[in-house]
Chains A and B, each alone.
Chain A
Amino acid sequence: MTGAAAFLRRLLRNRLAAAGLILLVLVVLLAAAAPLLPLADPDATAPVRRLAPPFSEGAWLGTDTLGRDILSRLIWGTRLSLAVGISASLLAALLGSVVGLVAGYAGGRTDALLMRGIDTLMAFPYLLLALAIVAALGPGLLNALYAVVAVNIPFFARNVRGAAAGLRNREFVDAARLSGMGGLRILLSEVLPNVMPVIVITLSTTIGWMILETAGLSFLGLGSQPPQADLGSMLGEGRRALINAPHVTAVPGVMVFLIVMSMNLVGDGVRDAIDPRLRSGLPARPSAATRVARATASVPGAAVPAGAAPGEPASGALLAVSDLRTAFEGPSGPVDAVKGVSFHVMPGECLGIIGESGSGKSVTALSIARLVASPPGVVRGGTVRFNGADLLALPAGPLQRLRGGRIAYVFQDPLTTLHPLMRVGAQVTEAIRAHAPVPAAEAGRRTIELFAAVKLPDPASMAQAFPHELSGGQRQRVSIAMALANDPDLIIADEPTTALDVTVQAEILDLLDALRRSRRLAMIFISHDFGVIARICDRVAVMHRGEIVETGEARQILARPRHPYTRRLIAAVPVLGRAREILRASERAEELP
C-alpha cells in the first residue's frame, strides 16, 4: 500500500487539507461518541427553562424553544446529519458509478440510452428534482436521502462514464477480453480500479454539497420529522425564535458550516493529491515582461562604450546583444538556457540564428523584448542595446511602445499565436491602434493594405475571417502583416516556417525576403534548418547548448564550417543525391562529445 501512503503524505503536505481533515475527524469522533458522552436527553422538553442563553447552568449552549438542551441536540443532530449525508454520498457514488461503468464499457446503444437518461436528470435544476421526489415519496428523512441520492447520481455517472469509455479499447482490457474474461469480471478487475480515482475525486468534491442539501431539505421541513432532529431541522425550528434567541439557529448553523468547509478543504486536497495535473492551472502566471536580475547592473540608457563586446562593431549596430544570460527558475535553483550570448544586427541586415531545439535560440530571441515567460524565466546578465538604449533596463511604458513598434515578432505556429476568437483583421487593426492614434476606419483600411502587401487573396473579406478558417500559410501571412503594422526597424522571426508545408514554406520565405529588402528592415531569423537560413540571411550565428559556437557570413559558413556541430547541421539539409553523405555525417556526429 505504498500508493495509499504516498497519497496520504501528499494530502497532508497540503496544510489546508490537513487542517480540514483534523477538523472533520474531530467532528466525526464527537458524533460517534454521542452515546458515551454524559449528555442530557436531546428530546426532553422543559417548558420552564425555554430559550436559556448559552453558558447557562446545566446547558452550555443554552436551550431551544421547548427547553431542550442544545448541546445534546447538536451532537445527536450532527450524528444524524453525518450519517444521512455520508450514506447518501456513498449510495450516489455506487449507483452513479455502476451506470457510468456500464455505459462507458458497453458503448453503443446502451451508452446512448443511459446517457440520454442522465442528461434528462441533469436538465432539472438540482434541488427542484429533489423536491419533486420528496413530493412523491412524502416528507421524511429517508425520503430526503433518496432524493439527494437521485440528484447526485448524474455527476458520478458522467465522470465515470468518461473515464471508462477511455479505457474500453486500451490494450490491457483487450488482453483481458481475449483471455476469455466475462464482461462483469473485466469491469470489476480491470476497469474499476482504473476509474477509482475519478470516483474518489467526484465523491470528495460532492459530499459537502450532499450534507448541505440533506440539511436544507430538513430545514424546509421535508427531511427529518420531529422529535428526531438533524442539524437542518434544528435550524428550521430555531427560526421561530430568531430574534429573541439567535443562538438556537447559530449553533447548528456554525456546525453545518464547519462540516461542509472541512469537507471542501479535504476534497480539494484529495483532488490535488490524486491528480497533480489538475493543478496545472496553478503555476505562476507570466508577467508583462521578463524579470531582469543582473548581478552587475549596467547604467541604463548609456551609449555603447567602444569595444564593449569583443569582436563586435561598436557603432552603427541597430541591435547589439552582449553576454546575454537567460535562465529558468527550477525547483533546484535557476537553470541557464542562454549562457552569455553576444551578437549584433546592422540596419537592414538579416542575421540567422540556427540551432537544434533546446539550443536556446528561441529564448535568445524572446529575451530581446523581454517576452520570455516570467516566472520561470529570468534574465541574469548582459545587455540588449537597441539604437543604443539598454532594453533590459527599460521601464514598462517605453518597452511596451517598442514592442510591435520598432521591434516586431513573427512566431512559429500562427494557429496558437493568433487569438483564436478574434477576427484576423481586428487583430492587426488593434496592433496599429496600440501605437498610433488612428481612427478605427483608417486602421481598418491600413490593415487591408497590409493584407494586400503580404499577398493574401481578397484582403477585405480575409480580414473578417477567424484564424481557424484560414490555411497555415494564410495565417502566417496575417502574422507577418501584424508585424509590419507599424513599420518596424527590426523583425524577429522565430521559426516562422517550421509549422508549414514545404511549398508554403518557400512562399513565406520569399515574401519575408522581398518585404525585408523593399522596406529596408533588419531581421533576425531563427531556424533549425540551414537550407532556410542560407536562402535569406546575410550572416549566421550557430547556437549550441545556450552558446554561440560559430558566427560569420552565411555563404562562408556553409562552404567552410569550422565547428563540428555546424557541419552536422549543414549535413542535415536534405539535398537530392546527398543521402550517402548525410549518413556519413550523422555517423561522424555520433562521435561528437
Chain B
Amino acid sequence: MAAYALGRILALVPVLFGLSLIVFLIMALIPGDPALAILGPYATPENVARINRDLGLDRSLPVQYLSWLGNVLSGDLGRSYSLNRPVLDEVAERFSATLILAGTALLLASVLGLLAGIVSAVRQFGLADKLVTLAVLVGISLPSFWLGLLLILLFAVRWRLLPASGMYAIYGGGDLADLLRHLVLPAVTLAIVAAGVIARLTRSAMLEVLRQDFVRTARAKGLGEGRVILGHALRAAMVGVIPVIGIQAGFVLGGAVYIETVFQWPGIGRMLVDAIAKRDVLLVQGGVLVVATCYVLFNLAADLLQRLLDPRIAP
C-alpha cells in the first residue's frame, strides 16, 4: 500500500506541472495589455513600462513562468488589483466556503446516488426501478442554475422555509444551525446531477456484480439476501463506483460556480466570475490553480481508497 501510494504521488508531479503550465499560459497569452487594464485612464507610456517591469512582463515567457512558479511554490500568488489584497488570502477564504458547499453536495449525492442505485438494481424492472430511472433522467437533464431558481421561488419566497441566499444571516446568525439552514437549498441543487450519475452507475455495476459466481457462493453458504446484496455485491460494485465519485467531485466543483451565483454563496466560483468580469488576471489564475490542485489531490484520495477496497490493483 505504501509503495502504491508513493507511486501515485510521484505520478502527480508531471500532472501538477502540466496544470501550472496551462494556467500560466492561458493567462500569459491573454490578448491586450494587462498594464492598460490596471492603469485605466492613468496609462501613460512611462506608467505602462513601469507596471510591465513590476509584473516582470518585459522578460521572456519561460523566464516569466519559472519566476511565477517559484512564487507560487513559496505561497505567493500575487496581489489582486481589484480587491487590493493578496490573492492567496482571498482564495483561501472563498475556497473554504466552496468546500463546505461542494463537500456537502458530494456527500449528499453519494448517499442518495448509492441508495437509489442499489434499490433500483434490487427491484430491477419494478416500480422503484422505474421511478429511479425517471428521476435520474430528469435530474441529469435539469439545468442546475434554473433548478436553483425554482427552489428559491418555492422554499424561500412562497413557503418561507429556508433562506434564499448567502452563507449566514446578516443579523444574529453565524452559528452552525444558521449555516446549515443556508446550506440546504444550494447543496441539494448542486447534488442533484451528481446523484443521478452515481445512481445510474451504481445500478449497472450492481446488476453486473449480482450475476457473478461469488454472489452464488454467498447464497450457497446460506447468507440472507440483505447480506448478499450489501455485504458481497455492493462491496465489489463499489470498486467501479468510487472512481466515478472522484470524477463527480470535479463536476460538483465546477457546478458550484452556477450555484454560488444563484444563491449568492461567497465561494470561489462567484469570485472567479466577478474576477473575469473585472479582468483581474492574477485572481483568476490563483483561484483556478488552487481549485484544480485540490481536485487532483481529491482524485488521489479516491485512487487510494479504491486500492484499499481492491487489493488486486497492482502497485
- Asked if residues B232 and A281 are in contact (CB atoms below 8 Å), the reply is no
User: What is the 8 Å Cβ interface bit string for chain B, positions 157-197, against chain A (1 contact, 0 not)?
Assistant: 10000000000000000000000000000000000000000
Give chain B's interface residue range (CB within 8 Å of chain A).
35 or more
When A133-B26, A216-B258, A219-B258 are in contact, do A371 and B220 touch as well, CB less than 8 Å? Answer: yes
> Would you give the 0/1 interface string for B299-315, flagging 1 where the beta carbon is closer than 8 Å to chain A?
10000000001111000
Cα-based distance from A419 to B125 in the complex (angstroms): 27
Minimum Cβ distance to chain B for residue A308 (Å): 27
Enumerate B268-315 residues with CB–CB distance to A below 8 Å.
272-273, 275-277, 279, 281, 284, 288, 291-292, 295-296, 299, 309-312
B291, A125: Cβ atoms under 8 Å?
Answer: yes
- A interface majority secondary structure: helix
Contact yes or no, A120 B15, CB < 8 A: yes
| A208 proximal to B (CB < 8 A) | yes
List of A residues within 8 angstroms of B84 by Cβ? none
A135 partner residues in chain B, CB cutoff 8 A: 26-27, 30, 272, 275-276, 279, 281, 284
Q: Mark B224-257, 1 if CB is under 8 A from A, else 0.
A: 1101100110011001000000000111011101
Residue B75 CB within 8 A of the other chain: no
Q: Does A124 contact B (CB under 8 A)?
A: yes
Q: Are B276 and A408 in contact (CB under 8 A)?
A: no
CA distance A418 to B30 in the complex (A): 58
How many A-B pairs with Cβ below 8 Å?
Answer: 243
Q: Once the chains are docked, how many angstroms separate the CA of A256 from the CA of B210? A: 37
Residues in A neighbouring B253, C-beta threshold 8 A: 125, 127-128
Give the A interface residue count (CB, 8 A): 84
Residues of B within 8 A of A127 (CB): 251, 253-255, 257
A242 near B149 with CB under 8 A, answer yes
Residues of A within 8 A of B74 (CB): none
Q: Is A304 an interface residue (CB 8 A)?
A: no
- Contact check, B22 vs A121: say whether CB atoms are below 8 A apart: yes
Please tell me if the beta carbons of B239 and A401 are within 8 angstroms of each other in the complex: no
Question: Would you call B3 an interface residue if the criterion is a C-beta within 8 Å of the partner chain's C-beta atoms?
Answer: no
Chain B residues with Cβ below 8 Å from A123 are 15-16, 18-19, 292, 295-296, 299
In contact, A409 and B220 (Cβ under 8 angstroms): yes
CB distance from B181 to the nearest CB of A (A): 20
Answer yes or no: B152 CB below 8 A from chain A CBs: yes
Residues A411 and B213 in contact, CB atoms below 8 Å apart: yes
A221 within 8 A of B: yes
Please, which residues of chain A bring their CB within 8 A of the CB of B224? 400, 434
User: Which residues in A have their C-beta under 8 angstroms from that of B21?
Assistant: 120
C-alpha gap A450/B230 in the complex (Å): 26
A257-B142 CB under 8 A given contacts A128-B292, A402-B222 = yes
- Closest B residue to A121 by CB, please name it: B22
Q: Which residues of B sit under 8 angstroms from A482, Cβ to Cβ?
A: 217, 221
Q: Say whether, besides A120-B19, A222-B273, A281-B208, A434 and B26 are in contact (CB < 8 Å).
A: no
By the criterion CB–CB under 8 Å, are A249 and B149 in contact? yes
Task: Mark out the residues of chain A between 259 and 305 whose CB falls within 8 Å of any chain B CB in the assembled complex.
Answer: 260-261, 264-265, 280-286, 288-289
- Contact of A220 with B235 at beta-carbon distance under 8 Å, contacts A208-B141, A264-B140 already known: no
Of A126, A133, A402, A411, the most chain B CB neighbours within 10 A belong to: A126
- Contact check, B220 vs A261: say whether CB atoms are below 8 A apart: no
> For window 1-60 of chain B, which residues contact chain A by CB distance below 8 Å?
14-16, 18-19, 21-23, 26-27, 29-31
Main secondary structure on B side of the interface with A: helix
Q: A565 at interface (Cβ–Cβ under 8 A)?
A: no
Specify which chain B residues have a CB less than 8 angstroms from the CB of A134 in the assembled complex: 276
A16 closest partner in B (C-beta) = B137
A285 with B211: in contact, given A128-B291, A135-B284, A468-B312 (CB under 8 Å)? Answer: yes
Q: Find out whether the CB atom of B222 lies under 8 angstroms from the CB atom of A403.
A: yes
Indicate if the CB atoms of B146 and A256 lie closer than 8 Å: yes
- On whether the beta carbons of A257 and B149 are closer than 8 Å, the reply is no
Interface centre among A283, A400, A408, A419 (most CB of B within 10 A): A419
The answer to whether B150 has its CB under 8 Å from any CB of chain A is yes
Contact of B261 with A417 in the complex, beta carbons under 8 Å: no
> Nearest chain A CB to B72's CB is how many angstroms away?
15
Task: Enumerate chain B residues within 8 angstroms of A235, measured Cβ to Cβ.
Answer: 143, 145-146, 149
B276: nearest residue on chain A (CB-CB)?
A: A135
The answer to whether B18 and A404 touch across the interface, beta carbons within 8 angstroms, is no
Within the complex, the shortest CB–CB distance from B190 to chain A, in Å, comes to 12
- A416 and B217 alpha carbons, distance in the complex (Å): 9
Which chain B residue lies CB-closest to A281? Answer: B204
- B221:A431 contact, CB within 8 angstroms: yes
Instruction: Tell whether, in the assembled complex, residue A132 and residue B284 are in contact, meaning their CB atoms are under 8 Å apart.
Output: yes
- Interchain nearest-CB distance for A453 vs B (Å): 17
Contacts of A329 in B (CB 8 A): none
A178 interface residue per 8 A CB criterion: no
Contacts A119-B15, A128-B291 known; 9 new A-B pairs at CB < 8 A: A123-B19, A216-B143, A221-B273, A257-B143, A289-B219, A373-B211, A400-B223, A417-B216, A430-B221
List 28 A–B pairs whose Cβ atoms lie within 8 Å, in order of A's numbering. A116-B18, A123-B295, A123-B296, A123-B299, A125-B295, A127-B251, A129-B292, A131-B272, A131-B288, A132-B23, A132-B288, A135-B30, A246-B153, A253-B150, A282-B207, A284-B125, A373-B216, A402-B222, A405-B222, A417-B213, A417-B216, A418-B217, A420-B236, A421-B235, A421-B239, A421-B310, A421-B311, A430-B231
